[in-house]
Structure 1
Amino acid sequence: MPVIVSRHEFPAEGAEERNELLRQAAGAVIDELEGSASNLEQAFLLTFTEATSRCLLDPLAEYAPTWRAWVSAMQVGSALFASATASEERIDARIAGKVRSIPVSGPNSAANPGNWVKAFWLAIVCREQDRMTQLCNVPISLLRASGTEYDEYVYAWIDALQSYWLQRGNVSEKLVAAVNGTKPDATVIASRALMLKILYPSLELFYRYLRQDREQFNTVLAEALQWHKEYWTEDEDRASSSEGLVALGPLAMAALAHDAGFPFQVQSEYLPRALVEGAWIGEFDT
């Protein structure tokens, strides 16, 4: 019997027009990237906002404009870290249907842990294994050099993800360190609501994925989506943000689990089915 977690209500009036405005705004910023890498963070925000916004009218992510938007967000997120880590003066990055020559930025505030995790989730969803590898080779020291404040657990979490993908070993120990770092006495930056309902569930899902605990994975996935819904409806500002339309961390974990053959008992518009299943893989140049 499937478990269904319905998406919270979101105003659909004018959504198509908003999507087009976002596409145009993102395109304009992307076109400026060859002149300055400082625009990468804005491009990342705009492309990711368009990607999630398109899932309002396309909850299964079954239409080409939606997948194109997700691919563009993935490309920009990866380029942000390629620019921050490259030793050359410029990098070549395919973004939005065109190879662009982007200046190298070096360490900067945009190359931070939060953007790294988002970029990695997008690479997983788009099944971009080369980009996953490139992101996993980003030194944690560079993320610390961003100058942005994050709770310490996130560095252990990223270390666990990088070690898993690059097969470095000690993944379980690093994941335990990350989980321990989410306890109330260890966190000072993230609010308890953000930690419990948005950040922590991905760690629990990853743990169940590593253990191949398929039944518990489904249980935790359903709980994660319910917590996601609660978080994004706790106040008016959150409820009006398109970021809440998709549960990105659980989506990435669901994509990993799908490709590993996990049977799914959870259905939700927070997990667009075509993204979980990688239905559009290979249809766009990435």
Structure 2
Amino acid sequence: MARALEVLTEGAEEVLAELEEHPSVFNSALSSAMVVAQVRCAGDPRAAKLETWEAWTAAMQVGSAMFAAAVAPEGSSVECRIAHKMRSIPATGPRYYTHPGNWIAAYWLAVIGRDQERVTALCNVPLGLLRRPEVQFDEYIYHWVDTLQTGWLKRPGMQEKLVAAMQGTDPEHLVVGDRELTLKILYPPINLFYRYLRQDYDAFNAELAKALEWHKEYWTADEDRSANIEGFVAVGPLAITCLAYDAGFPIEVESEYLPKHLVQRTWIGEFDT
């Protein structure tokens, strides 16, 4: 695992080095940064090491920079700190990778990183920018993004949007998404967010335990999934748990899929982000 981590880290650093000249590599940069963060947790499941926090912070910085560049005026550039280095990245406008899947990943990372400025910036990204003709998503995903943006910015209508998102995950309404992936991976964060809003501590912990069990079922269902780095951490449930922890919820569930020190924001403020 140590050698694999070294190779993956070197690869991620090489992609990051290209961002200022070739922002078209943003999709690869975010994917590789998230892979490194997840692999760090494979060897450090509680995220007790500073290096693990650095990896998650770098992934957060890439995700936020992706959308900062997308909304920046044409011909301008955005100044972004990524992996301890200030970088000047040209405005990109909407691209094939500025879709709701990457937006949600960027949002999760900013929430886990407790970076309110980045969360606010992401929530001000126009929903229309995320509708990319190159990539198809079920409509509930857009309701879900709208819910998160509306809730964070304290705009009216969040409850109705959340209901639409939850109803849209019904297998009968799916057009694009895989049913098992939707049920076990994509729906649980929506359900947890609902429990978080209701401030029902017992129900939240019960649903969190269920979400992590579904995560395990999905990512250990066969040999290929078990080897997939994407399943090492339950990123969506982790982010909602961070929101709940910060709101004073007693988090009673412990799991290798839910790194303790990310939940408890142990490393916040350790370095400039």
TM category (shorter chain) comes to: over 0.9
Is 1:282–2:269 an aligned residue pair?
yes
> In structure 2, how many angstroms separate the alpha carbons of the residues matched to 1:217 and 1:107?
36
Q: Matches of residues 141-160 of structure 1 in structure 2 within 5 Å?
A: 141-145=128-132, 147-160=134-147
Q: Which residue of 2 aligns with 1:93?
A: 80
- Residues in 1 aligned to 2:97 and 2:89: alpha-carbon distance in whole angstroms: 15
Q: TM-score under structure 2 normalisation?
A: 0.98
Contact 1:112 1:146 in 2 (8 A): no
Query: In 1, Cα distance between the equivalents of 2:169 and 2:94?
Result: 26
Following the alignment from structure 1 to structure 2, what is the Cα–Cα distance between the partners of residues 230 and 32?
Answer: 37
Matched, 1:246 2:233: yes
Q: TM-score, normalised by structure 1?
A: 0.94
- Partner in structure 2 of residue 62 of structure 1: 48
CA RMSD of aligned residues (A): 0.9
Bigger relative contact order, structure 1 or 2 (CA pairs below 8 A, ≥6 apart): 1
User: Is 2:26 the counterpart of 1:25?
Assistant: no
Give how far 1:111 is off: 0.4
1:51 is matched with which residue: 34, 37, 40?
37
1:265 maps onto 2:252 in alignment: yes
Say if 2:125 is the partner of 1:138. Answer: yes
Separation of aligned partners in 2, 1:238 and 1:263: 32
Aligned amino acid, residue 134 of structure 1: A
Determine the C-alpha separation between the residues in 2 that align with 1:110 and 1:155.
Answer: 15
1:39, distance to aligned residue in structure 2 (A):
1.1
| SS of structure 2 residue aligned to 1:225 | helix
Distance in 1 (CA, whole Å) between partners of 2:21 and 2:229 is 29
Cα distance in 1 for partners of 2:252, 2:117 equals 30
- Counterpart of 2:180, as a letter, is A
Q: Which residue of 2 aligns with 1:177?
A: 164
Distance in 2 between the 1:42 and 1:264 partners? 34
Q: Structure 1 regions of 5+ residues with no counterpart?
A: 1-14
Residue of structure 1 equivalent to 2:154? 167
Give the AA of the match of 1:102.
Answer: I
> For residues 6-54 of structure 1, what are the alpha-carbon distances to aligned partners after superposition, in whole Å with 9 as ceiling and x for unaligned?
xxxxxxxxx1111111111111111111101101111111110000001
Q: Which aligned segments of 4 or more residues in structure 1 are displaced greater than 3 angstroms? A: none
Establish whether residue 34 from structure 1 lines up as the match of residue 2 from structure 2: no
Matched, 1:190 2:170: no
For the Cα contact (< 8 Å) 1:107–1:146, is it kept in 2? no
The secondary structure found in structure 2 opposite 1:246 is coil
Whether 1:207 aligns to 2:197 is no
One-letter amino acid of the structure 2 residue matched with residue 127 of structure 1: R
Superposition deviation, residue 201 in structure 1: 0.5
- Equivalent residue for 2:110, pick from 103, 123, 128: 123
2: distance between equivalents of 1:255 and 1:64?
Answer: 18
1:237 aligns to what?
224
Shift of 1:146: 5.4
Q: Which moved more, 1:19-28 or 1:267-276?
A: 19-28
* In 1: Cα distance, 2:132 partner to 2:71 partner: 12
C-alpha distance in 1, partners of 2:237/2:171? 22
Whole-Å Cα distance in 1 between the matches of residues 63 and 71 of structure 2?
13
SS of 1:93's equivalent?
Answer: strand
Distance 2:187 2:250 in 1: 23
| Shift of residue 284, structure 1, vs aligned partner | 2.1
Unaligned 5+ runs, structure 2: none
- SS across alignment from 1:105: coil
| Cα deviation digits, residues 74-96 of structure 1 (max 9, x gap) | 00000111111111521111001
SS of aligned partner of 1:91: strand
* Aligned counterpart in structure 1 of residue 66 of structure 2, from 74, 80, 94: 80
2:117 and 2:134 map into 1 onto residues whose CA distance is: 27
Query: What is the SS of the residue equivalent to 2:98?
Result: coil
Residues 36 and 146 (structure 1), Cα distance of their counterparts in 2 relative to 1, 3 Å cut: farther
Residue 113 of structure 1 and its aligned partner are, at CA, apart by 0.5
1:145 positional shift: 3.1
Structure 1 residue 147, shift from structure 2 partner = 2.8
Aligned partners of 1:108 and 1:146 also within 8 Å: no
> 2:242 maps to which residue?
255
